[in-house]
A and B are shown apart, each in its own frame.
Chain A
Amino acid sequence: MAVLTCRGLRKEFGGHVVLDGLDLTVAEHQVVALIGASGSGKSTLLRCVNLLEELDDGTIELDGEEISDPRVDPDRVRRRIGMVFQSYNLFPHLTVLQNVTLAPRRVHRRARADAEAQARDLLDRVGLGAKADAYPDRLSGGQQQRVAIVRALANQPRLMLLDEVTSALDPELVGEVLAMIRDLKADGMTMVLATHEMGFAREVADQVCFLDSGRVVEAGPPGQVLGEPTQPRTRQFLRRIIEAGRL
């Protein structure tokens, strides 16, 4: 069964149409990569799925439940979805451990010792155990982003939304974050990731969706969308990416 089903999503910002009847289905354990130029609607789509933006039309289903229904409690929905942002958005006044345990303790009402043990275990697994008591400003960008991923995972989400998680990183730090996402895929995590890393999309995604003007213009296995695109707009986009030396 599909974990996520989006039908006919529409979102406008002050008369500017960002999502224009977008459809997307994500099956369990599937990794879907969203590619497309800036402003094509990738981030807006992810924010709509997490109910951070109000839809102007269309429906979103999570595990068969329509979460775009206004009667649904958004806080309950967001607990089941993990989101990671381009700019990490760690809480600067909290240590790494407090960042990771905030939601388990306050949202899931888990005991402090219990939540900290789980957090330390997760941090150890990604090699950040030694940073548990550090504040975010003492960490490199790559480390901060890995903490942000751990923070989202601590909620044991059904679905992870990754919004250009490597775009703000120095090139030599991108690898450690991508390695973590690779491990998540190996663990069977269902993920939707907006990315500019075409090589990574090709490697990790089960499906690549090319977005343009708020619609999915072309979708399919990465080899097909990135290797033999059929739509002229996809070809044009990929040609520019190749010219920029990013593929």
Chain B
Amino acid sequence: MSLLAYTPSAAQRRRAAYRRRQTVRSVLVAAASTATLGTLLVLAVTGAPGWDRVRESFLDPAIARDALPAVLSGLWLNIRLLVLCAAGALLLGLLVALLRTLRGPVFFPVRALAAGYTYTFRGLPLIIVLYVLTLGVPGLRLQGMPPVLVLGGLALVLTYGGYLAEVFRAGIESIHPSQLAAARSLGLTYRQTMRHVVLPQAVRRVAPPLLNDVVALQKDVGLVSLAGPIDAVRAAQIATAQTFNYTPYILAGVLFVLLAIPLIAVTDWVTLRAARRQSGG
């Protein structure tokens, strides 16, 4: 039967027309309720008794323009740190997760060390790790001490590596044993099985939570400023202290959100794709 010869029945045409009407109606209702809520919110904020003073001290365009270069140069530090620390933490997390899955008595100390690491650094507040590494370690006055920025980055990598290791491990353990049996029965070694069968599937499965942690890391990289380096938030703080105006903070916040949007969009897309793959069958 050709597709051209097919004409929908009267019942199907009535259903289609009804659904079209319903769609138009839903769009109109959504638009009306959004407009109403938006208007109410704007009225509530701008009509508040202190609105004029808040607008002056938080939303001053001139101050935002003046602070922009400093905040942007701070943001550039955030971006560079994010890229390097995310890469470092992902590598460290993967390595630790793999060490924790090793079997056999020879690897007991390695397993214990890896487990101890994830327990310690998931429990330890990031700020304490930062202080110990950026203030304590240089205090040893060893030769060839890396700059404080590298030490701060290391603190971030160590802390986030602990979380990511557990995400990777959950992924590895979610691969059904029958996949391992199939790979081993072909003569693949344990390492080859991990490399070619388990990890590719595991990483795909945990990509959404991994990216979620990277989004969280994006906000935490700024904490290195506690040890001196000037990130976007610290630059905003300095500008605020100079002008007694909080607009630079709002500026930094907006820039952070803009920076996060692409990363979050990628996370959502990967999550959706993973869900589709699983239900698609």
Contacts and interface: CB of A to CB of B under 8 A. Distances in A.
Interface of A: 47, 50, 52, 74-76, 78-79, 81-83, 85, 87, 89-93, 102-103, 106-107, 137, 151-152, 155
Interface string B156-199: 00000000000000000000001101111111110010001100
7 contacts: A75-B188, A78-B185, A89-B179, A91-B183, A103-B187, A107-B187, A152-B186
The 10 closest A-B pairs by CB, nearest first: A79-B187, A89-B182, A103-B186, A83-B185, A107-B187, A78-B187, A89-B178, A93-B200, A106-B192, A75-B189
Contact of B186 (A76, A92, A102): A102
Give the size range of B's interface with the partner.
Answer: 10 to 19
Given A92-B201, A93-B201, A137-B281, A85 B189 contact: no
Nearest to A90: B182
A103 B204 CA distance: 22
Nearest to B202: A93
Given A137-B280, A137-B281, A50 B185 contact: yes
Contacts of A85: 178, 181-182
A102 B204 CA distance: 19
Contacts of A75: 184, 187-189
A107 B201 contact: no
Contacts of A107: 186-188, 192
A85 B178 CA distance: 9
Contacts of A152: 185-186
A79 B192 CA distance: 14
A131 B269 CA distance: 29
B188 A52 contact: no
Interface in B184-227: 184-189, 192, 196-197, 200-201, 204
Nearest to B182: A89
